[in-house]
């Protein structure tokens, strides 16, 4: 674990890279990738069911007739599954603003214009995720390949490459096909591993001649924790206590399923399920990497890895050895949980010690597949917390209690950093350097890409002109860049690229549309129109492409209005 000398004490060094000193891409090594990440819309998956419940069932006759007609046209597998799903989709719940993300930001229909925007901004790499159920609607290869879905991604990849933008593709971003969730419990069952490998193989075959950077799974920790500890993600298993939810992006009131209403939800077992799900995520990743390396990599010439997410943790009392150990333990339980196995072939020793026989074990053959199943490390970083030892935790048995750590946002009443739009997100740039150097030191000095990093603001009522003013986001990115620069120059970290989250305002999972992470404003009310914020213009200049500054549509509208006024005056 990196100590404080890599944190606040580096202020003098950081200052050298801020302002006039850190001016653009040329401050980073040759070949350093700077891109953006956004998600495509989804097919029918676990989220379609999760975002809704069935309170009241007070539907009009027209609603009932509509649903019966819909079922008659689109029925598949079992009719009662769709009846339940359609009823639930009528009344979304569990999401902060009650939305269900049916259109997200309509990237599926707007991708050509979105790629033009990327080109204007000078972005040379774009990370996006493929929807499993868009390629295999039934989740399994035996159910057939959706050629329309394949065509969409082929068109997107070809367009990106024609504009000089390198695609970085994620295969799984939280969206288990609904049929697999219903058939055998999704990632709670090892049955999902061959199904995931089949899906990955279709993607390698269809797109691998042009895609040279693959990520099997995005944020295993988030999927396992939010789905099976805090209950904020589907299938909504786990606990509802305050500290369990502290690391979740959702509030307590949405974590649990309404008793007697949502028939697909149950509490699960937070003492075992997150570890089982995490284990199967790792095995699915390793199996997909094995297939890629055996059948595709030599011919296609690509690279493959996994994206893991972690906060950084500082001891609440640096002079207290127990707090120092607690902070290190927290890093192991979040970052090490999914990084240690692919590097060492096993979980961190601290997890073995504190979880015991509830933590699954890798067989000899599984260890052979898992260890070394990466060509680089994908790292998502957003924030840092203080950690204090908590051996007498009042948490119910499970992942949160196993760590024996309490997480805090402040020390002596002073916040660890400025708070962004989300309650969990405090802006702590030095944490990214500490996590980078920790990974270099503990996990064999790998090549690393920052695959997500960003800050949000609340989606509040503002004029469009005010909504485009996000200078705090510019400063936050500059401060993180400065820490990344120190990690490269001073610590010798092999950091090769950076993807900000996110290019566009987006549907932020359990938070719905209540927060905005994007550098491009999306008008959710008026047709999902895009408007570059100040940060987007800054990022274009930072990339130093010497491109003309793109006019923002709000400015174009003002120009048209001005011309009309002049014509009226002449008349």
| 385: number of Cβ within 10 Å | 25
Please state, in angstroms and rounded to a whole number, the distance separating the CA atoms of residues 129 and 170.
4
- Give the whole-angstrom CA distance, residue 441 versus residue 491: 10
pLDDT in tens, 282-333: 999 999 999 999 999 999 999 999 999 999 999 999 999 999 999 999 999 9
User: At residue 538, does pLDDT exceed 80?
Assistant: yes
The separation between CA 226 and the C-alpha centre of its own chain, rounded to angstroms, equals: 12
Please classify residue 321 by burial: count the beta carbons closer than 10 Å to its beta carbon, then call 0-12 exposed, 13-18 middle and 19+ buried.
exposed
380, 308 in Cβ contact below 8 A?
A: yes
Q: Are strands 405-408 and 166-172 parallel, antiparallel or unpaired?
A: unpaired
Burial of residue 152 (number of CB atoms within 10 Å: 0-12, 13-18, 19+): buried
Q: Which of 388, 444, 404, 423 is nearest to 508 (CA)?
A: 423
What whole-number distance in Å separates Cα of residue 469 and Cα of residue 453?
19
**Residues noted as catalytic:** 219, 452
How high is the pLDDT of residue 392? 94
Return the CATH superfamily for domain 4-55+91-570.
Glycosidases (3.20.20.80)
Q: How high does pLDDT run on average in the chain?
A: 81
Q: Is 98 exposed, middle or buried (0-12, 13-18, 19+ CB in 10 A)?
A: middle
| Residues contacting 566, CB < 8 A, separation 6+ | none
* Cα–Cα distance, 248 to 232 (Å, whole number): 7
Q: Give pLDDT tens digits for 232-288.
A: 888 888 854 444 444 444 333 333 443 333 444 457 899 999 999 999 999 999 999
pLDDT of residue 108: 80
- Using pLDDT thresholds of 50, 70 and 90, give the confidence band for residue 23: low
Q: Phi and psi for 527 in degrees, rounded to 5?
A: 75, 20
Would the pLDDT of 12 be above 70?
no
- Rounded mean pLDDT, 55-73: 40
The model's pLDDT over 131-166, given as tens digits with 9 standing for 90+, comes to 999 999 999 999 999 999 999 999 999 999 999 999
> Per-residue pLDDT tens for 468-488?
999 999 999 999 999 999 999
What is the C-alpha separation between 431 and 14, in angstroms, rounded? Answer: 13
Q: Is the peptide bond before 235 cis (omega within 30 degrees of 0)?
A: yes
Give the residue from 48, 60, 87 showing the smallest Cα distance to 71.
87
- Which tokens go with 511? 């938070």
Q: Span 431-460, mean pLDDT?
A: 97
- In angstroms, rounded to a whole number, what is the distance separating the alpha carbons of residues 555 and 560? 9
Label each residue of 294-340 as H, E or C.
Answer: HHHHHHHCCEEEEEEECCEEEECCCCCHHHHHHHHHHHHHHHHHHHH
Give the number of other CB atoms < 10 A from CB of residue 150: 18
Q: What is the DSSP string of 176-187?
A: -BHHHHHHH-GG
């Amino acid at each position: 674990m990196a100590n404080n000398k890599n944190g606040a004490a580096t202020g003098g060094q950081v200052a050298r890279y801020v302002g006039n000193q850190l001016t653009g891409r040329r401050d980073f090594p040759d070949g350093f990738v700077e891109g953006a990440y956004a998600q495509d819309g989804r097919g029918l998956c676990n989220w379609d069911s999760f975002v809704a419940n069935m309170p009241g069932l007070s539907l009009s006759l027209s609603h009932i007739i509509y649903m019966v007609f819909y079922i008659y046209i689109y029925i598949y597998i079992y009719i009662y599954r769709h009846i339940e799903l359609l009823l639930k989709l009528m009344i979304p719940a569990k999401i902060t603003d009650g939305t269900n993300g049916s259109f997200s930001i309509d990237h599926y229909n707007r991708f050509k214009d979105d790629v033009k925007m990327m080109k204007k901004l000078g972005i040379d790499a774009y990370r996006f995720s493929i929807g499993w159920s868009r390629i295999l609607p039934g989740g399994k290869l035996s159910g057939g390949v959706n050629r329309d879905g394949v065509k969409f991604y082929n068109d997107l990849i070809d367009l990106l490459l024609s504009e000089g933008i390198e695609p970085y593709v994620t295969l799984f971003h939280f969206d288990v096909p609904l049929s697999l969730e219903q058939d055998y419990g999704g990632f709670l069952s090892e049955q999902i591993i061959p199904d995931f490998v089949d899906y990955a193989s279709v993607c390698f075959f269809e797109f691998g001649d042009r895609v040279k950077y693959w990520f099997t799974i995005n944020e295993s920790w988030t999927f396992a924790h939010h789905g099976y500890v805090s209950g904020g993600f589907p299938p909504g298993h786990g606990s509802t206590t305050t500290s369990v939810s502290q690391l979740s992006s959702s509030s307590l009131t949405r974590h649990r399923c309404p008793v007697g209403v949502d028939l697909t939800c149950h509490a699960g077992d937070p003492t075992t399920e997150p570890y089982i799900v995490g284990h199967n995520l790792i095995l699915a990743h390793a199996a997909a990497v094995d297939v890629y390396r055996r059948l595709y990599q030599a011919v296609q010439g690509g690279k493959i890895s996994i994206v893991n997410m972690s906060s950084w943790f500082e001891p609440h009392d640096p002079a207290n050895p127990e707090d120092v150990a607690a902070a290190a333990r927290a890093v192991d339980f979040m970052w090490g949980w999914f990084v240690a196995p692919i590097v060492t072939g096993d979980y961190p020793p601290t997890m073995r010690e504190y979880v015991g026989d509830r933590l699954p074990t890798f067989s000899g053959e599984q260890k052979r597949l898992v260890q070394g199943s990466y060509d680089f490390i994908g790292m998502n970083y957003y924030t840092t917390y203080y950690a204090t030892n908590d051996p007498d935790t009042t948490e119910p048995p499970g992942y949160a209690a196993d760590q024996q750590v309490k997480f805090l946002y402040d020390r002596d009443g002073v916040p660890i950093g400025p708070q962004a739009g989300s309650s969990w997100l405090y802006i702590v740039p030095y944490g990214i350097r500490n996590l980078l150097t920790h990974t270099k030191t503990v996990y064999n000095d790998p090549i690393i890409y920052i695959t997500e990093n960003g800050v949000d603001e609340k989606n509040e009522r503002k004029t469009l002109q005010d909504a485009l003013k996000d200078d705090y986001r510019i400063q936050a990115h500059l401060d993180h860049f400065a820490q990344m620069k120190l990690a490269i120059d001073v610590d010798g970290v092999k950091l090769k690229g950076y993807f900000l989250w996110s290019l566009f305002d987006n549907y932020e999972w359990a938070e719905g549309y209540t927060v905005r992470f994007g550098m491009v404003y999306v008008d959710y009310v008026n047709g999902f129109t895009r408007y570059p914020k100040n940060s987007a213009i800054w990022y274009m200049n930072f990339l130093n492409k010497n491109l003309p500054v793109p006019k923002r549509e709000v400015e174009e509208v003002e120009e048209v209005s001005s011309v009309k006024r002049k014509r009226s005056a002449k008349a």
